[in-house]
Amino acid sequence: MESRKRPREAESADVSSADGFKTPVKNASVVRQQDSDFLRWGVEDTCEYLHRQGLGEWANTFREQKITGVGLKYLSQENLEKIGIKALGDRLQILDSVRKLCQIAAEPKVFNDPIHGHVEMDPLLIKIIDTPQFQRLRYIKQLGGAYYVFPGACHNRFEHSIGVGHLAGQLVKALNERQPELHISRRDILCVQIAGLCHDLGHGPFSHMYDGMFIPKARPEIEWKHEKASLDMFDHLVRENNLEPVMKQHGLELPGDLVFIKEQIAGPPGTTASPSSKWPYEGRSRDKSFLYEIVANKRNGIDVDKWDYFARDCHHLGIQNNFDYHRFLKFARVCDVDGAKHICTRDKEVGNLYDLFHTRNCLHRRAYNHKVGKIIESMITEAFLEADPHIQIEGSGGRMFTLSTAIDDMEAYTKLTDTVFEQILNSSSPELAEARKILHNIVCRRLYKCLGQTQAEKPMKITQEILRKWASDLATSKPQSAAQDVNMKPEDFVVAVIHLDYGMKEKNPINNVRFYCKNDPTKAIQIRKNQVSKFLPECFAEQAIQVYYKKTDERSLEAAKKYFVQWCMNMNFSKPQDGDVIAPELTPLKASWSNNNEGEDGGCGMVVWWGGEHFKP
């Protein structure tokens, strides 16, 4: 078999002559990347480095002394003085540049990851990982309450963040090797990796439960997301661990690169960018716009964050992952689109991208929004609300904060993780008795019951006031057939609204993706849905309304189910799937709930996109 392989040089020559497209020579990339391999430098490489560092006046001196990369390692002030560099300032400047090289060339640390295999991390990334602020992520479950439903979903934000940092490096390095004309510097690569590593620093206990369920109820007057806390925690991490000098030693330029890192995590700074500004970012100019599409892609949602959590979550949940990010890495390249540079992929990969968003939808339906998982998160949220005034966390300056106010102080927030669950559960404080009881019910599996799921005709804007009103309406939606001696209270109902989409609300994210063809890899094109298949989704967003009931005795539960069906009728919502079973005397009363399937079997019928294949039930 070995004899059949062509030498790489010959293969490249064949490709150039076959299609007329000349592959760019990679020597520009080699120059930028060889700093980490300086021990192999010859004399001219050393002199070139001096020029890049603004020390070119000493290049001839180094050339005369035949100083190679190995020699740089042993330079001292005395040695430099002997070869004629008399000024102390010049000697210190040269030694500082050499010290940067040694930092760059330090051995990377290797993590054995179950998803990506052996992952190498740059020494600067290790400095960030080995901080209390990053290590905190070891104690925050990636999937929150889903762990109480899926026993394998025990993974944490810590390993996910390492995976995203790794994939960010893989993608930016692949682009650099494929297109050296992009002039991706080592600084760019490090900043992108740091952004991937730190993008989830702001998550609270049980991940999305904290910012999606707890904070909106505990502090409804504010709009707060974990991305904001990620920026605050990143600043706190850098400051508390004195990392700015370390970052400078590794070649970062501050504060510009810190701004760039934070822009990748949360988007452009809304307060500083003027509305008329054509380019809203400050960290990098428009010619590096593609770098903003790697960690958190605001353009179409295809980013390395999804790549990692798809692969990692599916692995731990036991669900098939239909998206192969390795193919995207192989075909990714940057093209000009409307004056900016965007990451594009091959036209033949459009089906793979629809698989990506189908996988996202499946994970939300089957795992992230599993009804029992949402019930458990609702119970944890209720326990946290009960405990909120009584949990005291010390922050900066000795000030005390609660579960809901710790987000205002990063020193206090660093101490807030999933462990607060056990803190409440194992406490003996009388003030925590009610919260302790709720968590004890979770442990003993005495959970709220799901009455059912329904949908509104059109998506609605949901507020805490609407949810409270719906709970009140449920308590008064008494059907004529209900038992007269059952008393329903609004506080016994929990209404949860679940948003399901492809990541861009009602829009098709693939419309914001650009592709290139084999014949012309430099030209970006758009591929519309009707150019791919008629079996793809027509609607890209919907809301599901789930209702839970706190009482578990059979008599109350049966009555609550009938109240729920009556409420759906009153609200003109869709018929619950088991509506004909739990309230057969009610469902025939609503004409639109008729079981007449006329019209559903005609034409194409219902079509499901499943794992890259099309099925018509």
Catalytic residues: 226
Helix, coil or strand: residue 501: strand
How many other CB atoms are there within 10 angstroms of residue 114's CB atom? 12
Distance of CA 465 to the CA centre of its chain: 30
Phi and psi at residue 377, in whole multiples of 5°? -65, -35
Structure-token pair, residue 513? 């993706």
Structure-token pair, residue 452? 């059912």
User: Residues in the chain, how many?
Assistant: 617
Residue whose C-alpha is closest to residue 343's, from 275, 295, 294: 294
The residues, ordered by sequence, that sit 6+ positions from 427 with a Cβ below 8 Å of its Cβ are: 436
Amino acid sitting at position 463: T
Helix, coil or strand: residue 610: strand
- Give residue for tokens 């300086």: 38
Amino acid sitting at position 374: K
Euclidean distance between CA atoms 68 and 46, whole angstroms: 6
Helix, coil or strand: residue 2: helix
Structure-token pair, residue 378? 């609702």
Structure-token pair, residue 36? 């980490």
Structure-token pair, residue 212? 């999606």
Paired sense of beta strands 340-346 and 393-394, if any: unpaired
- Give residue for tokens 């005495």: 446
Q: Are 109 and 123 in contact (CB under 8 A)?
A: yes
Distance of CA 123 to the CA centre of its chain: 23
Distances from the Cα of 227 to the Cαs of 35, 243, 462, 531, 602, in angstroms?
34, 21, 21, 36, 46
Paired sense of beta strands 541-549 and 608-610, if any: unpaired
Helix, coil or strand: residue 10: helix
Alpha helices in 340-456 (DSSP H): 350-363, 371-387, 410-414, 420-425, 433-443
| Strand partners for 117 | 113
- Per DSSP, which regions of 338-489 are E strands? 340-346, 393-394, 400-401, 449-454
Amino acid sitting at position 372: V
Structure-token pair, residue 561? 């189910």
